[in-house]
Amino acid sequence: MSSSNPNTSDIVFVNALHISADVGKDCWGKTRAQPTEVSVYLHLQPSFLTAAGQSDEVLDSVHYGHLSKAITGKLNGSSFSGVEALVNAVAQEAFSLAGEAAVEVRVVVDLPKQILLAEGFSIDLTIPRSPSSPPSIRKISIVDLVLPVLIGVNPPEREAKQRVITNISFFERPGHRPLLDYPEIVTRIVKVRIAKFYRPMPL
């Protein structure tokens, strides 16, 4: 998701922090800690890092190592009411570390054990520092969802279902509302799709 502030050019980010956190039910319907991957993109005030470049002092910038440790310490082994609560905890930790230098924080959370028939589930959300700033669009991705379906008109094709792998992205309109129940949405999609028969596309 792109930054809501096009003038922000300086970004400090940490990619794919691996932790274990309880964000609600996993793909087996059990509430327990599950593998979680967190990426954080800290958007800074325009030209904020210019001072660090001129002084050559790391203290004049935002230390990505400190950011990684702070977020890992906050999240690892912790329990949250949902993915959104985890995202907010990450944003608060990032804002606390960066101080007034931060304009907004983009957080991407991947949960590989959230949906049984998919390789991954992720939420991509940018949180502005100022409460008066408009909220951003939330992007939710279902990665490599496997659908067993009948495709074709020949007898063998009518008897054996084929594996169809698809990726689905949802874009929620800006607004302060709870995250939708995407595991349930995927369950409904799977039930509808596997009950249908598909003819192959003509060449």
From the first residue on, what is the mean pLDDT of each consecutive set of 10 residues in the chain (203 residues)? 53 90 92 94 76 56 82 92 92 88 91 92 91 82 89 75 89 82 90 64 49
Evaluate the CA torsion angle 186, 191, 192, 195 in order and state its sign.
positive
Question: Residue 162's domain spans which residues?
Answer: 11-198
Residue 6 included in any domain: no
Confidence at residue 113, expressed as pLDDT on a 0 to 100 scale: 92
| C-alpha to C-alpha distance for 96 and 92, rounded to whole angstroms | 6
Residue 4 included in any domain: no
Q: What's the structural domain count of the chain?
A: 1
Q: Please identify which residue in the block is written with the tokens 């609560």.
A: 85
Residue 59 included in any domain: yes
- Here the CATH number for the domain that contains residue 85 is 3.30.1130.10
Residue 85 included in any domain: yes
Q: What are phi and psi of 127, to 5 degrees?
A: -115, 120
Confidence at residue 199, expressed as pLDDT on a 0 to 100 scale: 56
Q: What share of the chain is helix, strand, coil (3-state, %, to 5)?
A: 30, 35, 35
Residue 142 included in any domain: yes
Residue 1 included in any domain: no
Residue 5 included in any domain: no
Confidence at residue 8, expressed as pLDDT on a 0 to 100 scale: 46
Residue 203 included in any domain: no
